[in-house]
Structure 1
Amino acid sequence: MEAAPSRCLFLLLLFTCELSPEVAAEVQESSDGAGGSQEAVWLTDVPAAMEFIAAAEVAVIGFFQDLEIPAVSIFRSMVQDFQDVSFGISTDSEVLAHYNVTGNAIFLFRLVDNKQLDLKNEDIENIDATKLSLFIETNNLHLVTEYNDVTAVGLFNSMIEIHLLLMMNKASLEYEESLHRYQEAAKLFQGKILFILVDSGVKKNERVIAFFKLNVSQLPALAIYHTVDDEWDTLPITEVAVERVQNFCDGFLKGKRLKQNPESEEKTPKVEL
């Protein structure tokens, strides 16, 4: 098998290794269109902060010693932009000490891989709405994360080395029920497998389907991928069933990997897609 860099799949699926200004603008535009009346939750002690983080798939907390700095108002503006993220804010000295914050910081906690990402003092001083929006958007991974040019960065940086992709058209009548069952299956492999949704109705995503040597007529399908050594397997399905997804994942984890890009096959050159 040809040696490949760790987690090369999602690196290949990115247009570039960094977000382009156009993508950054798309993130900001989508955020500006969000509505609702969500508010940041004040976290007044350590137990409250811990409970808040444990209850959310993705939690973003602003730890501030000074509420007058520009970053605070920018942070609060993000609350309305990300309705699927829980926002908290704390000025309590014990809470800040518990999370080793000595100045001002913004942390993102995600349940899917128990990962903590942060913006420290030096980043906070130069933060603006676009930078903070990108930080949240690119790291906003849930039990099931939809693949796109922005979330690919967070997927690529996840510590979870096995990714499961459900490739199906979101416009299909079966989509809502299929997604619900896929989410239920994701709970069974939390911390072990990263569950991803690939909308086959999006033209750009044809490169993902082609990577796994599938075509649209074979969809919906599951594709499971080991990011370290490029081993993968696929399973065309007529419907998404929790037990079917579970058995497919269990088989892969136990080493029953059927398609591994064997050296005997002619491989597509690895270039940016």
Structure 2
Amino acid sequence: MWLFLVFSLLATSSLAEDTAPADSALPRLADVTAAEAFIDSAEVVVIGFFETDGGYGYKEFLAAVEEVKTIPAALCSVKEVWANYSINSDTIAVFRKADGHQENLLLSKIEKLDSDGLVRFFTINNILYITEYNQVSAVGLFQSEVKVHLLLFANRGSADYKPLKEKLGALAPRYTGKMLFVLINGKEKSNERALGYFKLKSGDLPRVGIYDGVSDKTWLLPPGEISTERVQDFCDSFISGALQKEKEAGETNEKSEL
């Protein structure tokens, strides 16, 4: 299903311009140590594993990197490095810290490749320690193997919007591989459905919740100060199973009262 989605995104994109960068100022990763350092240098990075410059997808890769300047990019042609990341042929790979994921785009499997499609590939997989929810990021979020989301509902432009984003973004690395931290702008009309799923309205914000994609259940942090300590306790309670037991007990009581 994921490969089909990637094929569709690449195939339906407009054709790339004929004039792509002739050469690249991108760093060249000469050994595993350099690759590890580069991957560790940012929350999300992309590496073009090309055996030779000018191979299939090389020009399109450079053009896409030029457009998506927010994601650090590098090139690697050293097979020793390839083997360290299970790369066997020309591949474009995105590495993410938030869920410890490596997303590979095997170029030999892509019949029609253009830079616009690669830009979409980069953007979809740009999952950060705290990712703002939109129609594009939603694809990457729900494709992740990490199915639990810590949600910060806040109104863009409010006094607490940026401080809360920074506060929770700093907490997120503690939950790498366990939870993805997601920011939902309550003023965005397209996010009304997400708020409604938690029985919230824009005027109720800011609030913090947890969504478990496996059970399709939600939990809300009780109203009050959204401090690092309270959010951390909230996350830890979910991981320990305490929140789930509380919900189950509440649901059992509701049924017994009917």
Q: C-alpha separation between the residues in 2 aligned to 1:18 and 1:60?
A: 19
Aligned to 1:100: 86
Q: 1:225 aligns with which of 211, 226, 230?
A: 211
Aligned to 1:245: 231
Aligned to 2:177: 191
Q: C-alpha separation between the residues in 2 aligned to 1:61 and 1:85?
A: 10
Aligned pair 1:109/2:101, yes or no? no
Q: C-alpha separation between the residues in 1 aligned to 2:117 and 2:50?
A: 18
Q: 2:112 aligns with which of 105, 126, 135?
A: 126
Aligned to 2:43: 57
Aligned pair 1:91/2:91, yes or no? no
Specify which structure has the higher proportion of helix: 2
- Using the size of structure 1 for normalisation, the TM-score is 0.77
Q: C-alpha separation between the residues in 2 aligned to 1:98 and 1:256?
A: 39
Native 8 Å contact 2:44 2:94 kept in 1 = yes
Query: Relative to structure 1, is the Cα distance of residues 18 and 202 closer, same or farther in structure 2, using a 3 angstrom cutoff?
Result: farther
- 1:212 Cα shift? 0.9
Aligned to 1:48: 34
- 1:224 Cα shift? 0.3
AA aligned to 1:204 is: S
1:85-118 deviations in Å (ceiling 9; x for gaps): 2211011232233333333111111111111111
AA aligned to 2:97 is: L
AA aligned to 1:242 is: T
Q: C-alpha separation between the residues in 1 aligned to 2:147 and 2:28?
A: 35
Q: Secondary structure at the match of 1:243?
A: helix
AA aligned to 2:138 is: A
Q: How many residues are paired up? A: 236
What RMSD in Å do the two structures reach over aligned CA positions?
Answer: 2.7
Q: Secondary structure at the match of 2:134?
A: coil
Identity among equivalent positions (%) equals: 36
1:186-219 deviations in Å (ceiling 9; x for gaps): 1221221110000001001010000111222321
Query: Relative to structure 1, is the Cα distance of residues 259 and 40 closer, same or farther in structure 2, using a 3 angstrom cutoff?
Result: farther
AA aligned to 2:152 is: L
Where structure 1 has 5 or more consecutive residues not aligned to the other structure, the ranges are 1-16, 29-37, 266-273
Q: Secondary structure at the match of 1:137?
A: helix
- 1:83 Cα shift? 3.2
- 1:246 Cα shift? 0.5
Aligned to 1:80: 66
Correspondence 1:120-269 to 2 at 5 A? 120-123=106-109, 126-235=112-221, 237-257=223-243, 258-259=246-247, 262=251
- 1:120 Cα shift? 1.1
Query: Relative to structure 1, is the Cα distance of residues 18 and 203 closer, same or farther in structure 2, using a 3 angstrom cutoff?
Result: farther
- Using the size of structure 2 for normalisation, the TM-score is 0.82
* Higher radius of gyration, 1 or 2: 2
Aligned to 1:4: none
* Stretch moving more, 91-100 or 255-264: 255-264
AA aligned to 1:217 is: G
Native 8 Å contact 1:218 1:236 kept in 2 = no
1:49-105 deviations in Å (ceiling 9; x for gaps): 122112221111001112112511211122233233221101123223333333311
- 1:259 Cα shift? 4.8
